[in-house]
Amino acid sequence: MAKNMQLYTLFNILKSAGSKGVTKAQVSKQLNVAENSVPVYMFSMKKYFKAEFTTIKNGRAIVAYVLDNADKITVPQFRKGSTGSKKSVTKAIAKKNKSVSKPVKAAKTKSVNIPSDGSVAIPDKDLHVAEISDREFDDIRSSLGL
């Protein structure tokens, strides 16, 4: 069974509280989030579902939130496109002809002499280092999400 969206749970909490409102502590306990995250959820309700709130304050600190237009807005219970249950996917497995191959011998490598005096060894002159263009570097960064 699919889980309810956090905003749907928040909507039900605010709707059931009525005109007395809900504190940050109550919301954070019900949603299992930090109290500092509660204003973010309230902003999301305003932005996506046009919710209107009245805040009850003690000085500058917000004590409680009251949802004013609970009967006029609708908040979906599940995400768009979710079905509530996962479907099993089966794929046809292609059979491959198994052929026996000979083991590949490892190539011989040159031994590297590391100076004992702590100096840095200079690479060989025939060492080729490929340069990466800005476009390739941007592609790499975007694929890594940086």
- Residue 38 sits in which domain range? 6-67
For 62-112, the pLDDT digits (tens) are: 889 998 887 787 777 777 766 655 555 555 555 666 666 677 776 776 666
Q: Is residue 80 part of a domain?
A: no
DSSP label at residue 8: H
Length of the chain in terms of residues written:
146
For 46-55, the pLDDT digits (tens) are: 888 888 888 8
Q: Is residue 24 part of a domain?
A: yes
Structural element, H or E, at residue 41: helix 38-49
**How many Å is the maximal CA-CA distance in the chain?**
80
Residue 41 CB: number of other CB atoms within 10 A? 18
Q: Is residue 52 part of a domain?
A: yes
Total domains present in the chain = 1
For 115-138, the pLDDT digits (tens) are: 677 677 666 766 766 777 888 888
Q: Is the pTM of this model over 0.75?
A: no
